Structure 1
Amino acid sequence: MGGAHALDGLWHRIGIDTVTKKLLTGRRLDPTAERVLFALVANRALAPGSKLAATRWIEHDSHIPGLPATSDDACYRAMDWLLKIEDKLAEEVYWQVADLLNLEVDLLFFDTTSTYFETGEPDIPVARDEHGLRLPDEPADQAEPSKATEDSGDPKTASFRAYGKSKDHRPDLPQVVIGMAVTRTGIPIRVWSWPGNTGDQALIRQVREDLREWKLTRVVWVADRGFASETNRRFLQRAGGHYILGEKIRSGSPAAQAALSRQGRYAHVADNMQVKQVQLPDTADRFVICHNPDQATRDAAIRADLLAQLEDAIKGSDKLEPLKRAELRGKLSTKPGLHRFLRATPGGLLRIDKAAIKAEERLDGKLLLRCSDPHLSAEDIATGYKQLLEVERGWGDMKTIIDLRPVYHRKEDRIRAHVLLCWLALLLIRIAETTCEDTWLNLREELERIHVGTFTGPAGTFRQRTETSPPPSAPSSPSSASPSPSASSPWNPAQPSDQHERSRLDTRRSRVRSHISAGQPTFSWTRAAPQLRNSGQVGNLNTTVDGVDASLVPIIAVEALLELVAEVGRIAGRRASASGPEEPWTDSRMKVSPPRLGGDRGGVGRAT
């Protein structure tokens, strides 16, 4: 219950509910489509599974305000609607998050991954545009398959789930390609999906074109070596844009060879990072050579292990017949790490290439970067490129915590919508982590300890959540120990006492048992359940006892929940000092006194 409430508060705080409801206007959809959409996103972050399993989770294992239950058909309709509003929703959510977190979008990091499907055959090829989207009014059974051009990224006909270069090391299974752009703080601003046989080179141009309509300020694009073609570099520099791209140091390109051969001293940026700037006369780009001594040691150790394996593989090969030796050479050619150091003599004998070893030694621990921005220092360029790991961290969380795979869909539109749900879940997770400065695994563990119970009595039914408690703190010295609260004073959250808390809970349990054994209702109301008055900011909700909705559940303020798991010794909300029977509550905790035997109102208890 706690995780869903926290995510729901972030959902409202970002304004996704407002944006989706606005985009829902004029469409013939169930008004609860926005709630279904949020429930699917929360399910990805808390208990990922199939959409059918999500419906059971919504009904039995969670409490989604405004959505007591739903069906798998409603989930599929919400996903279809999400795909239709993808472009507008992504832009609106970006500006909401930018205002909320004061994002500095000076660096944008982009990378791709792939996800495979446990199916034996790819989809039927259909006609597609230059962005890999299916062309309308094209029957799938009339499409003629043709080989996609990976370099151009513009397949005329292609399968969505298709064979391609797998980054999960499963080339035997169909896959789709997914791209993501994130900020320097790891906030994902948008995702894209392409057919599985699409090459990386052309994708960053589409991403740049899609985000151009957002009218972002000066942006420096950061990408790895797979996007460093000359066409991409020219495209990223349009409208004053710049880039930081990794360069392939083993590609043999003249620019890379010239930059690596330049002499000069390294400047120490950190204990494990040294940088050297190189300016070539025939280009305006600057090259930065990064050297990591620790990585150089690891590279040397890995190379020594590979050479030992190669030595064992070719040992005794001189005695083999030429045909057998050729077969061994062909087998080693399928292992790039070993084949790199293998050479054949004019007579066909297999030997270790000493020259290749010396060339590799000169590249140990080195990374070559290329930057078009003349104002960035070499240190800024190296640091900015290292932050590309934020995208890798996003892929890791999406594949492990959110469970991008397995994908329980076969239709292209549903697969694309599933990726969007994972993106929205990752967005909420990253905002929670940024706010609390903690990992989502720890936050989720703390939040899921909060539960909600439904109680029924003669006066009606109401729900109450479990009370929050501060994390255990280290024992303090006697001089700094806080005085224990008296039995007549309320529990002070700022000065928690384990003994007082255990005594209070034991008293409550004994009262519950006594009333149950006496056949009396355990909890009841003398008036209607509280109504929430929203002051306009999530996390600043005042509750009174003047409402009329007896089934309304007290909402937990998101900021208070995040404080609960972020700071030791603090709890969600604090009770204001009581000044009268109608004093509003400052948090969502409720204490219900047991029913009195006799007296006014027929022995019905009073809510305090």
Structure 2
Amino acid sequence: MKGRAVPKVLFTFGREDDLDRDAVRRLVASLSKLLEPGDALTATAAPDLEFTSSVPFGGAYVLDQLWRRLRIDQIVGRVGQPKRGRRRDMTATERVLFALVANRALAPSSKLAAAEWITNDVHIDGLAATGEQTCYRAMDWLHEVTGDLEKQVFDEVADLLNLEVDLLFFDTTSTYFELEEPDEPVARDDTGRKLDGDQAGDDAKQAGFRTYGKSKDSRDDLPQIVIGMAVTRDGIPVRCWCWPGNASDQTLIRQVKDEMRDWTLSKIVWVADRGFSSAENRRHLRKGDHAYIIGEKLRSGSPEVQAALSRQGRYQDVAENMRVKEVRISDTDRFVICHNPEAAERDRHMREQLVAQLTDLIADTDKLSDFKRGELRGRIADKPGLNRCLRATPVGKLRIDQAKIKAEENLDGKYLLRCSDPHLSAEDIALGYKQLLEVERGWRDMKQIIDLRPVYHRLEERIRAHVILCWLALLLIRITETTTGSTWPQIRRELDRLHLGTFTGSTGTFQQVTALTKAQRDLLAKLEIPVPKQIVALQPAPC
């Protein structure tokens, strides 16, 4: 110890007259990248400036650029004009609608929370603030023009992405509402839309919108609605539909096909799962120049399924963990059996666990009374996996059904497809059906990322508008993902690190964007979106 302070020089800039100021700026910019966006802005601010706020900027900026590239801002302006009379300025409505879509993609919340988010927690170009009632009015308008807007948005998407919709995937899901009672039944047409009093006849269907049905969220105890979505093979959502909660999957796809008849689509092969496999649906989908690929229920017991599964033939390897075999049992339809060895191993393992569990359940039941065995039989009947392996003897004793287990072994890892297109190869049929997973991924993202549920609305029109907002958000997300090759959560995290800071000084107020990182520049380059201006707004102080 020297008993005095000894200065330690970390870096020397040299003589002031020889100072490389550009090098200093680069050094400051490099060091600022180690700080949070708000801290970086504060550190680089001029001494006479006060740093007042910082909000995320990148996510909303990218979504807004895609929104404008798809010309949705112009579409809103067109569909919002009256057929006669004075033209309306739709700019404010368009900005609120975009903000609500961005909210679903970036920070999903209720309309009250969304209004606060728009006003205080994000920068939306052209919309400094909004209120809850303004959001509701925009949603009411959106419900009125949904049909025209969906059609024109798809035309722009098809033109931008050069979409050739040869395969169109359709599936449904449900979303429930935490209500004590379902909605009161009202008169509806065949599409599930409400009828006015003068339109409703005595034979009109009566149904509430939020009502009980077969829940795909395992919440049969709560009222729900049914939502359908058509998706391209690249995962681009084409259109959404809503129906009352008791709507049956078997009839919905016919309405979907009819409503898309006038859209400018190339030849379509509809791809749907086993829930849409009725003979009437298949006849309807074949009308015009359309075809279908539909899954068949292996345990339906139909003669066609049994004939297809019993037909001998050699499997062809078409992809990793996928083998296919085409069997000819019909003059009109083609049947393709798909086999996944890994899935077969999983099925075998699951069945062994079920048999072991069932064996424990029925052990020593011969000693029970007929009434007690009947009780146990009833409990097992509610569990399809266990019930499938159980049989009862003529005197009511419970046994493992070895014949059914043997039959189940023949189904391990298999699924059966039916196709009406004579030109598709068996490989194309199998891989096309496998892409139905894109719809399932869409539903998963709608519920987890865009937060389709909970729905905070009570009126049917606003619930339908809420679903359309979620569809538009998913559309922008999918375009971003397919263009960049990254997932939306990764993209969103990176973009949200790009902030907009507000500074106030004696000469006025200005807003400045933080420096772009390499990852942010790469994302913008892949999306072909221009780098944002560094100074977004500048307002001189009043004289």
TM-score (norm 1): 0.76
Equivalence map 1:380-395=2 (5 Å): 380-395=428-443
Aligned with 1:201 (options 250, 253, 256): 250
Equivalence map 1:76-475=2 (5 Å): 76-137=136-197, 156-280=205-329, 282-471=330-519
Q: CA deviation at 1:560?
A: 5.7
Distance (Å, rounded) in 1 between the aligned partners of 2:207 and 2:521: 50
Q: CA deviation at 1:155?
A: 7.4
- The equivalent residue for 1:22 is 78
Query: Does the Cα contact within 8 Å between 2:62 and 2:529 map onto a contact in 1?
Result: no
Aligned with 1:13 (options 49, 69, 77): 69
Distance (Å, rounded) in 2 between the aligned partners of 1:307 and 1:232: 37
Query: Does the Cα contact within 8 Å between 2:502 and 2:511 map onto a contact in 1?
Result: yes
Query: Does the Cα contact within 8 Å between 2:157 and 2:163 map onto a contact in 1?
Result: yes
Q: CA deviation at 1:271?
A: 3.0
Shift in alpha-carbon separation, 1:465–1:561, aligned structure 2, 3 A: farther
Query: Does the Cα contact within 8 Å between 2:213 and 2:223 map onto a contact in 1?
Result: yes
Distance (Å, rounded) in 2 between the aligned partners of 1:591 and 1:165: 51
Query: Does the Cα contact within 8 Å between 2:513 and 2:536 map onto a contact in 1?
Result: no
SS for the counterpart of 1:238 is coil
Q: Deviation per CA, 1:338-395, whole angstroms, max 9, x where unpaired?
A: 1111111011101111100000001111110000001000000000000000000000
Distance (Å, rounded) in 2 between the aligned partners of 1:384 and 1:217: 17
SS for the counterpart of 2:242 is strand
SS for the counterpart of 2:451 is coil
Query: Does the Cα contact within 8 Å between 1:126 and 1:143 map onto a contact in 2?
Result: no
- The equivalent residue for 2:14 is none
Q: CA deviation at 1:461?
A: 2.2
Distance (Å, rounded) in 2 between the aligned partners of 1:2 and 1:50: 22
Q: CA deviation at 1:456?
A: 2.6
Q: Deviation per CA, 1:525-544, whole angstroms, max 9, x where unpaired?
A: xxxxxxxxxxxxxxxxxxxx
Amino acid at match of 1:156: K
Q: CA deviation at 1:572?
A: 6.6
Gaps of 5+ in 2: 1-56, 538-543
Select between 346-355 and 210-219 the one with higher mean Cα deviation. Answer: 210-219
Q: CA deviation at 1:571?
A: 11
Q: CA deviation at 1:316?
A: 1.2
Q: CA deviation at 1:411?
A: 1.0
Amino acid at match of 1:74: T
- The equivalent residue for 1:589 is 534
Q: Deviation per CA, 1:36-92, whole angstroms, max 9, x where unpaired?
A: 000000000000000000011011111111111111111111101111111111110
Return the structure number with greater relative CO, CA threshold 8 A, min gap 6. 2
Select between 331-340 and 24-33 the one with higher mean Cα deviation. Answer: 24-33
- The equivalent residue for 2:108 is 48
Q: Identity over aligned residues, as a percent? A: 63
SS for the counterpart of 1:391 is helix
Shift in alpha-carbon separation, 1:112–1:591, aligned structure 2, 3 A: closer
Distance (Å, rounded) in 2 between the aligned partners of 1:5 and 1:254: 57
- The equivalent residue for 1:64 is 124
Amino acid at match of 1:136: D
Q: CA deviation at 1:191?
A: 0.4
Q: Deviation per CA, 1:484-534, whole angstroms, max 9, x where unpaired?
A: xxxxxxxxxxxxxxxxxxxxxxxxxxxxxxxxxxxxxxxxxxxxxxxxxxx
Shift in alpha-carbon separation, 1:78–1:561, aligned structure 2, 3 A: farther
Aligned with 2:524 (options 555, 563, 574): 563
Q: CA deviation at 1:469?
A: 2.0
Query: Does the Cα contact within 8 Å between 1:447 and 1:561 map onto a contact in 2?
Result: no
Q: CA deviation at 1:28?
A: 6.3
Amino acid at match of 1:299: D
Distance (Å, rounded) in 2 between the aligned partners of 1:220 and 1:440: 29
Query: Does the Cα contact within 8 Å between 1:469 and 1:571 map onto a contact in 2?
Result: no
Gaps of 5+ in 1: 145-153, 472-558, 574-586, 593-608
Distance (Å, rounded) in 2 between the aligned partners of 1:117 and 1:270: 41
Q: Deviation per CA, 1:533-556, whole angstroms, max 9, x where unpaired?
A: xxxxxxxxxxxxxxxxxxxxxxxx
TM-score (norm 2): 0.85
Amino acid at match of 1:421: L
Q: CA deviation at 1:24?
A: 1.7
Shift in alpha-carbon separation, 1:304–1:388, aligned structure 2, 3 A: same
Shift in alpha-carbon separation, 1:283–1:439, aligned structure 2, 3 A: same
Query: Does the Cα contact within 8 Å between 2:188 and 2:207 map onto a contact in 1?
Result: yes
Q: CA deviation at 1:213?
A: 1.1
Query: Does the Cα contact within 8 Å between 2:226 and 2:247 map onto a contact in 1?
Result: yes
Equivalence map 1:481-496=2 (5 Å): none
Q: CA deviation at 1:563?
A: 3.1
Query: Does the Cα contact within 8 Å between 1:291 and 1:366 map onto a contact in 2?
Result: yes
- The equivalent residue for 1:580 is none
Distance (Å, rounded) in 1 between the aligned partners of 2:354 and 2:310: 26
SS for the counterpart of 2:260 is helix
SS for the counterpart of 2:67 is helix
Shift in alpha-carbon separation, 1:105–1:245, aligned structure 2, 3 A: same
Query: Does the Cα contact within 8 Å between 1:143 and 1:157 map onto a contact in 2?
Result: no
Supply the RMSD in Å over aligned alpha carbons: 2.2
Q: CA deviation at 1:323?
A: 1.0
Query: Does the Cα contact within 8 Å between 1:123 and 1:162 map onto a contact in 2?
Result: yes
Q: CA deviation at 1:590?
A: 5.1
Aligned pairs, number: 477
Shift in alpha-carbon separation, 1:445–1:224, aligned structure 2, 3 A: same
Q: Deviation per CA, 1:7-31, whole angstroms, max 9, x where unpaired?
A: 0000000010000011122376864
Distance (Å, rounded) in 2 between the aligned partners of 1:19 and 1:370: 39
Amino acid at match of 1:256: V
- The equivalent residue for 1:32 is 92
Amino acid at match of 1:247: E
Amino acid at match of 2:395: G
SS for the counterpart of 1:245 is strand
Q: CA deviation at 1:272?
A: 0.5
Shift in alpha-carbon separation, 1:18–1:380, aligned structure 2, 3 A: same
